[in-house]
Amino acid sequence: RNEVESLIKLFHTLAAESRDRFAAAGIDRNMFRNILHCTFGMTDDMIMDRVFRTFDKDNDSCISVIEWVEGLSIFLRGTLEEKMKYCFEVYDLNGDGYISREEMFHMLKNSLLKQPSEEDPDEGIKDLVEITLKKMDYDHDGKLSFVDFEKAVRDENLLLEAFGPCLPDIK
């Protein structure tokens, strides 16, 4: 109860700070990205955008107080099951229920450090996508369903954030 009340107070403080037209309704995308960056150290634009969309359940481009509390509940204290659903939703860029080769490629390309080298960096990322599919695509259909993702994460918890950091550090 105390934690929820604290989250609600924080929400109202942040919503008041938001100088956007959504200030009365909640926290806008820019304010939310600022929170993710400053509080949780996130730097990947694509991932931050996807986290915003995952929190914004009604797609009104604004985080309401209910979306804020429910989202942070999973983000900060979710069970493994809740975090798996959340991460899968973040990584499923087009919302079709699968993480495709192309989606993996875009997220990995975004999250990996650029290494100056002679060879085409995209080739290394394509190789990584193939390795990922070999490890996680249990039904061998060339894309990850939630069932594939869940089984892979249960076998190896480190795969929860395989396509980029979308949860806060334990600290």
Q: H helices then E strands: how many in the chain?
A: 8, 4
Pairwise CA distance, residues 62 & 169, whole Å: 25
Query: For residues 99 and 149, is the Cβ–Cβ distance under 8 A?
Result: yes
The pLDDT of residue 18 is above 80: no
Residue-level pLDDT at 121? 72
pLDDT band at residue 171 using 50, 70 and 90 as cut-offs: low
Q: Which residues contact 22 (CB under 8 A, 6 or more apart)?
A: 28, 61, 62
Distances (CA, A) of 78 to 58, 86, 87, 109, 169: 21, 9, 11, 28, 13
Architecture of domain 81-170: Orthogonal Bundle (1.10)
Query: For residues 37 and 48, is the Cβ–Cβ distance under 8 A?
Result: yes
Element (H, E) at 99: strand 98-99
What are the tens digits of pLDDT across the range 63-89? 999 999 999 999 999 999 999 999 999
Residue-level pLDDT at 151? 97
Indicate the pTM of the whole model.
0.88
CATH of span 1-77: 1.10.238.10
Map residue 63 onto helix, strand or coil: strand
Q: Across the chain, what does the average pLDDT equal?
A: 89
Exposure class string for 50-89: b at 16+ Cβ within 10 A, else e: bbbbbbbeeeeebbbeebbbebbebbeebeeeebbbbbbb
Domain with CATH 1.10.238.10 in the chain: 1-77, 81-170
Pairwise CA distance, residues 65 & 31, whole Å: 14
What are the tens digits of pLDDT across the range 19-55? 555 445 789 899 999 999 999 999 889 999 999 999 9
